[in-house]
Structure 1
Amino acid sequence: MVGVEFFGDTDLAAVAIWGFWLFFALLIYYLQTENMREGYPLEKDDGSISPNQGPFPVPAPKTFIMPEGVPDVTVPSAENELRHARAELALARTAQSEGFPHAPIGDPMLDGVGPASWVPRADRAERDGEGHIKIQPMSKRDAFFVSAGRDPRGMPVVANDDQVVGEVTDLWIDIPEQLIRYLQIKLETGQTVLAPIQLVRVTARYVDVRTLNTERMAQVPQTASMEQITLLEEEKITAFYGGGELYCR
């Protein structure tokens, strides 16, 4: 009979519970090591390897096959980390010990540090599941129109120093999400810049750019093309407007 001739005096309940705890421990180990594929091995503030790497080892490299046109990604990879690193940031230590904040030593808005910091994302346009570019100017998409709220096209743009800096000439839309992502603004200087819709306010008479002044509006990072925006360009533009929340008040 099962449990007598074969298992004898073995406590099957104890075997089951200890088997569960073993499985659970292995699951935690697997999930923790998979979580260490980016940002590891740990580094000190000066870029050297930290002596304390934690109790779990860095996992073996794994290559993720990306969609057509996108390079495959291997993580963790020292070469991958170096390729995306930002060298010589305009920052200085505020203390000798590790873990303390660094202070900007130049113009943080132009240097892209502090509250205006950005990370080197891929310099390619984001695409939807079918491979189409997600964010495009509405003027290039005849099927789209503003169906609710106020259409800001043609409205003057006012910076946070109460000066008119330009006019909204187009809307950049996220096609699969059917949302406005950026306002296209032609400045009085003749430049064309983009402004994240979340950081502006459309009033009855004008568009209020609440985080940048007139001088900073002329310094907004540019896009290489006026038909698409890359992930890196999005990162720099939104970081610039976001940094103005502190530096342009």
Structure 2
Amino acid sequence: MDDVKIVGTLDVTQLVFYAFVLFFIALVFYLRREDRREGYPTEAEDTGMPDTMGGPLSRAAPKTFDLPHGQGTVSPDGERRERVDLPAKRAFGSNGAPYVPTGDPFADGLGPAAWAERMHTPDLTASGKPRIVPLSSTDHVSVSPRDPNPVGMPVIGADGETAGMVTEAWVDMSEHHIRYLEIGDAETPGSASPKPVVVETQTVAAVDPATETAVVVETESVRTPASGGPGTGALLVPMAMAKIRKRKGVIVVDALRADQFAGAPRPATPGQITLNEEERIVAYFGGGYLYADPQRQEPII
């Protein structure tokens, strides 16, 4: 017996097949749009111009995130995109060549000193309270008697000089461990007065990719903590980059020289630190492992 025809030679089997094909095509377009919400359209490395190939069917609407504790919503926008006008030169004329700083890499945020533009609000606990707070502001978190208390210990830089005295510890209220050490002057513990930081003259050799000629740049600058970060409050050192020498009673931070500590970014609000300020502080100290001393940029062998 012949199959039941709906219209002409169109039967149920053909109708199901056509519906499946249309569904599959729509599914492919949907998946391709969804997997391009973040990171697309791709951009040229040197100019930052977007790649518009693919048309509107390959790009989805911007993703919107609902923030907890009534903080509203956030969506990726142009203000938080990576910069392309960097004060740096390519080490040699080739795509993928490393960039050599031509200015102050700490302030410019290059290489290991780079940071991401995170939100200018504090990180919060599950209950909606600031997550990173000074130890003295809480009464149910304390340093274990079995561990050395860093408060009162001097902080030694990579050059063996004293950068200051620990005056406070900032703790993580969600994980209950020290995240930052607040330091002041060695002469006047507790004070966090900004000091100018002298950056010695450095000669940097690079190759201009446009002319393929060598470029020699000499830089010399004097800056203060205000120019190195978003605020001029407490001087905070990431605990992850500090080594407590219990027997000697000192804390060693070999990321920076002692005179470079004062140039670190500082929180703008007393007793509070935002996600963006955390990013800037960690980037500053992380960049010191390469830029604190010109010798650190040289080959090991």
Per the shorter chain, which TM-score range? 0.7 to 0.9
Distance across 2 between alignment mates of 1:37 and 1:98: 26
Partner of 1:180: 178
1:177 Cα deviation after fit:
1.2
* Between structures 1 and 2, the one with greater strand share: 2
SS of 1:115's equivalent in the other structure is helix
Equivalence for 2:221: none
Kindly report the root-mean-square deviation, in angstroms, between the aligned alpha carbons of the 2 structures: 3.5
Task: Report if the CA contact (8 A) 1:86-1:120 is conserved.
Answer: no
Is the CA contact 1:171–1:184 (under 8 Å) kept in the aligned structure 2? yes
**SS class of match (1:218):** helix
Equivalent residue, structure 2, for 1:245: 289
TM-score (norm 2): 0.67
SS of the equivalent of 1:109 reads helix
CA distance in 2, matches of 1:177, 1:69: 23
Q: 1:95 deviation in Å?
A: 5.1
Q: Aligned residue for 2:119?
A: 122
CA–CA distance in 2 between the matches of 1:164 and 1:66? 42
Q: Which amino acid aligns with 1:130?
A: S
Contact 2:181 2:238 in 1 (8 A): yes
Gaps in structure 1 of 5+ consecutive residues: none
Which residue number in structure 1 is paired with residue 245 of structure 2?
203
Counterpart secondary structure, 1:172: strand
Match of 1:149 among 127, 147, 150: 147
Give the counterpart of 1:221 among 242, 245, 265.
265
Q: Which residue of 2 aligns with 1:39?
A: 39
CA deviation string 1:159-203 (max 9, x = no partner) = 110011211111111101111111111134842411111101011
The amino acid that maps onto 2:151 is: R
How many residue pairs match? The answer is 236
| Aligned residue number for residue 74 of structure 2 | 73
- The answer to whether the 8 A contact 1:169-1:186 is kept is yes
Give the unaligned 5+ runs of structure 2. 5-12, 193-233, 297-301
Aligned-partner Cα distance in 1 for 2:254–2:141? 27
- 1:58 is aligned to 59
* CA distance in 2 between partners of 1:69 and 1:89 (Å): 36
Q: In structure 2, give the amino acid aligned to 1:201.
A: K
Alpha-carbon displacement from aligned partner over 1:4-57 (angstroms, at most 9, x marks no partner): x99xxx9xxxx9xxx8xx98x95x876664343222211112111236679x82
Deviation for aligned residue 1:60 = 2.4
